[in-house]
Amino acid sequence: MGFLDFLTDKIAIDLGTSNTLITHKGKIAINNPSIITINQITGKIIAVGREAGMMRGKINKNIKTIYPFKNGVISNFDASEKMLKAFIKKLSSINASVFSTSYNMIISIPCGSTEVEMRAVKESAKRLNAKNVFLIHEPIAAAIGGGIDVLEPKGNMVVDIGGGTTEIAVISLGKIISGQSVKIAGNTFNEDIIQYIRESRNLHIGEHMAERIKIQIGAAVDYLEVPPKNMAVEGRDLLTGKPKQISLSYTEVEKSLDKSIAQIENSILETLSEIPPEISADIYNTGIYLTGGGSMLRGLDERLSRATDLPVHLGDKPLKSVVKGSDIVLKNLDKYSVVLVEKMRR
């Protein structure tokens, strides 16, 4: 980096399956759901982010709601680019300097990203006029954002439960030495809830309702000291076709999520079984750092701690740790160059 680097604008982007966060000048300037609605006939963008999210499940057949990312990676290239462009435009309307100067960009990606997927992310960024584009693996960014010193010669384990993927990584000396990207995360939990309610309560509920249930009364354990009250859940009665309301308890939600959480547990145990003994010794002492929006499920830390016999530390702002860490790396590139996946110059 040149000595005039401090003059260059810096943008960190967390392109998540559920949420897109963008920092500018060290602050989170964009924090929106990763959704875009498009008119299918004209191809015109109708809404992006929060506004598009509010239209979920309530639109007509000419308007399509698109989630550009699936399991952490771009599944609809065109929509993802349109969405990102709209967010950057929003950012430049807040701060005009973004487009008037060249800027450096860092984007976090899941560990399991293939070359093709990484290229797709870079191509999109390239068209947004960035001078340098850097990529970073999400769990490393999350660890840095959570205040963990990833550069020291000591093993640290991070479990980042997002919307589309759960990233499990053991990090030492700035690199992931072992890990997995599992396609079971917050969205799977919503699907589990929908399926359970359909099968055991004969009620068809929408995605939005499932998300509300998870946040309001979701649990990973069947006993909570401070249990949430039963929730009134509305949907369509599968037998009569009429709108109907039921009362749902947190223990039912726990039951519906059990299988998916067990799969996350197994992946963590598998990763732990593959690491060198010296690193195991470190993790015995440091425990697991749990982050990502999915980590906010009640009792999940307790359940994972029980399964692994390790202390589990819940991150402070789990939805923001990845973008916060990416921002720190972009501001201190000399110090953190080892953690970057790849560097691209235009």
183 φ, ψ (degrees, to nearest 5): -85, 40
Q: How far is CA 293 from CA 25, 90, 243, 301, in A?
A: 24, 24, 31, 13
Q: Has 212 been labeled as part of a binding site?
A: yes
Tell me the CB-side half-sphere exposure of residue 190, using CA atoms within 13 A. Answer: 17
Residue with tokens 């952490």: 72
From the list 36, 98, 184, 297, which residue makes contact with ligand ATP (rule: CB under 6 A)?
297
Q: Which amino acid is at 152?
A: E
213 appears as a binding residue in the annotation: yes
Distances (CA, A) of 230 to 187, 207, 216, 233, 237: 22, 19, 9, 9, 19
Give the Å distances, CA to CA, from 88 to 32, 81, 133, 264.
12, 10, 15, 34
Q: Is 53 in the site for ligand ATP (CB under 6 A)?
A: no
Give the span between the Cα atoms of 132 and 266, in whole angstroms. Answer: 39
CA 301 to CA 294: how far, in whole Å? 11
Residue from 9, 13, 19, 88 touching ligand ATP (CB under 6 A): that is 19
Structural element, H or E, at residue 213 = helix 207-217
> Does the annotation flag 244 for ligand binding?
no
Q: Which of 146, 163, 235, 299 binds ligand ATP (CB under 6 A)?
A: 163
Pattern of binders to ligand ATP over 182-211, x per CB under 6 A? ---xxx-----------------------x
- Please pick, from the candidates 49, 53, 68, 292, the single residue that binds ligand ATP as defined by CB under 6 A: 292
User: Which one, 33 or 154, has the nearer CB to ligand ATP?
Assistant: 33
Q: What is the nearest approach in angstroms of ligand ATP to the Cβ of residue 307? A: 18
Query: Is there a binding annotation on residue 274?
Result: no
Contact 163, 19 (CB under 8 A): yes
Residue that has been written with the tokens 């440091």 in this structure = 286
Q: Which residue is nearest to ligand ATP (CB)?
A: 186
Query: Site for ligand ATP (CB under 6 A): which residue of 11, 13, 18, 105?
Result: 18
Question: In terms of CB distance, is 136 or 297 closer to ligand ATP?
Answer: 297
10, 11, 13, 17: residue in contact with ligand ATP (rule CB under 6 A): 17
Q: Which is nearer to ligand ATP, 103 or 250 (CB)?
A: 250
- How many residues of this chain interact with ligand ATP, rule: CB under 6 A? 24
Tell whether 217 is in a known binding site.
no
Structure tokens at 299: 């009792």
Binding site for ligand ATP (CB under 6 A): 14, 16-19, 72, 138, 162-165, 185-187, 211, 214-215, 218, 292-294, 296-297, 319
